[in-house]
Structure 1
Amino acid sequence: MSNFSKAFSSTLGRKLIMSLTGLFLCSFLIIHLIGNFQLFKDDAGLAFNQYAHFMTNFTPIKVVSYLLYTSIIVHTVWAIILTRKNNAARPQGYAIKPKDGSIWSSRNMGILGTIIFVFIVVHMSNFWFKYHQGYTPFIEYSTDLTTGATTSRELSASEFTKYVSYVDNGVEITKSEDLYLEVSTAFKQWWLVAFYIIAMVALAFHLIHGFQSAFQTLGWDHSKYKNLINFLGVWVFGVLIPLGFASMPLYFLFK
């Protein structure tokens, strides 16, 4: 086994991979949240469907998406390996369990990560899989370029061949897969919304510990930046981002 392989198969090497993939996933969460805010626009889903088409057809984004899928798998597998090694190292567990919240999250990263992984599987099967396999409905938007008013109508499968957007006599016509309808319909189910909220709570605790831990593992926790890292870990990734994602299913449930 080469020195490179030995380095990355060691506990420290796995932690480094966990940190790098975790920070990459954190950056994805920001982009994904900003894009999903298009769901709140009162345009029958036009902006969100345009965003969904762009994210699945723009070549550089498609390349990054494969890196994302790989990061999720690697992050999950390495987390399982590290958790099992940690449990094997202390089979009797803690004699006295700390009460501090941050310590609780660090000691339960395996449970939190499992909830998040199940959430990712459910989320992708509900939306990503249906969208990529052509199981979503279709819609046509007509936007008057003079007034900005937009109307829409459902399209049958025979009327839709591919995503198109063009201007005809001052009216912008857009034919698209209607992922917005798929999302809004799914989030009318209270149990699915409840599951999403639970997953976002797990994500919050996972990120509060994981974000700060990643910087420590990489040696980027200099005292000069420690307060900023803690602030970003708690208030941005631990509070704002999970709240942002949780607001979307709640919005459609009560809309």
Structure 2
Amino acid sequence: MVANPLICTLRLMANNPLIRVVSILNFVFIAAHVVYSAILTKQNKSARPVGYAVANGASNSPWASRNMGLLGTILLLFILVHLRGFWYEVKFGEMPMVTYEESGTIKDVYTIVAASYENVGYALFYVVCMGFLAFHLSHGFSSAFQTLGLNHVKYSPVIKKVGYAITILIPTLFAAIPVVMYIQSLS
């Protein structure tokens, strides 16, 4: 009998020391990103206290680039909801247990995740937030290279193409998880 790949993935994530290290680093990078973004925004406003002119009610910058603060705030709220629903429950909540021959008795993370994504509202919330992530990444990836002074005429087209691929790929793959699990819950 072939094991369910989602169950195998969740077991790997719950019990792998490398995943724990990556998780901690992810928290550190997100916190650093929030702090650095606030500092950079303050510096930008100080450098140009008067806003750019808008002609005919239109701006020459994309919506995502003008609304990075809003997108970042929505994503931060999403992360907090996500952590409360999964990480907090795994660490501090009452978790069901499951026993496997090869790994013994462990927390049944799959059951918690599956139960969350059976709720169409939560699954939809997750997918919509991945749309916000796509907008955030659409500006943020290439903008990061510019902020760090790493943009170059020769490499900028490649950076934009890689950024576009990341903008589509990462949110789509993350959004696929609740969609697939919701569809599985219907059968």
**Of residues 126, 145, 156 in structure 2, which corresponds to 1:196?**
126
3-state SS of 1:176 partner: strand
The one-letter amino acid paired with 1:71 is F
Larger strand proportion, structure 1 or 2?
Answer: 1
Taking the aligned partners of 2:169 and 2:176, their CA distance within structure 1 comes to: 10
Q: Verify: 1:248 aligned to 2:157, yes or no.
A: no
Counterpart for residue 81 of structure 2: 122
Q: How far is the alpha carbon of 1:224 from its aligned partner?
A: 2.4
The 5 A counterparts of 1:214-229 are 214-229=144-159
Does structure 2 conserve the Cα–Cα contact (< 8 Å) formed by 1:98 and 1:104?
no
Counterpart for residue 47 of structure 1: 8
Task: Give % identity.
Answer: 36
**TM-score, structure 2 as length reference:** 0.82
5+ residue gaps, structure 2: none
5+ residue gaps, structure 1: 1-40, 143-163, 166-173
Counterpart for residue 98 of structure 2: 139
Taking the aligned partners of 2:13 and 2:74, their CA distance within structure 1 comes to: 25
Does structure 1 conserve the Cα–Cα contact (< 8 Å) formed by 2:126 and 2:175?
yes
Taking the aligned partners of 2:45 and 2:64, their CA distance within structure 1 comes to: 15
Q: How far is the alpha carbon of 1:68 from its aligned partner?
A: 2.2
The one-letter amino acid paired with 1:243 is T
Does structure 2 conserve the Cα–Cα contact (< 8 Å) formed by 1:215 and 1:221?
yes
Taking the aligned partners of 1:246 and 1:63, their CA distance within structure 2 comes to: 24
Q: 1:45 to 1:238 in 2, by over 3 A?
A: closer
3-state SS of 1:223 partner: coil
Alignment: residue pair count: 181
Taking the aligned partners of 1:94 and 1:178, their CA distance within structure 2 comes to: 56
Cα RMSD, aligned residues only: 2.6
Does structure 2 conserve the Cα–Cα contact (< 8 Å) formed by 1:205 and 1:238?
yes
Q: How far is the alpha carbon of 1:45 from its aligned partner?
A: 5.0
Taking the aligned partners of 2:163 and 2:34, their CA distance within structure 1 comes to: 20
Does structure 2 conserve the Cα–Cα contact (< 8 Å) formed by 1:208 and 1:233?
yes
Taking the aligned partners of 1:105 and 1:69, their CA distance within structure 2 comes to: 24
Taking the aligned partners of 2:35 and 2:179, their CA distance within structure 1 comes to: 32
Taking the aligned partners of 2:6 and 2:97, their CA distance within structure 1 comes to: 12
The runs of 4+ residues in structure 1 deviating greater than 4 Å are: 84-94
**Structure (1 or 2) with the larger CA radius of gyration:** 1
**TM-score, structure 1 as length reference:** 0.62
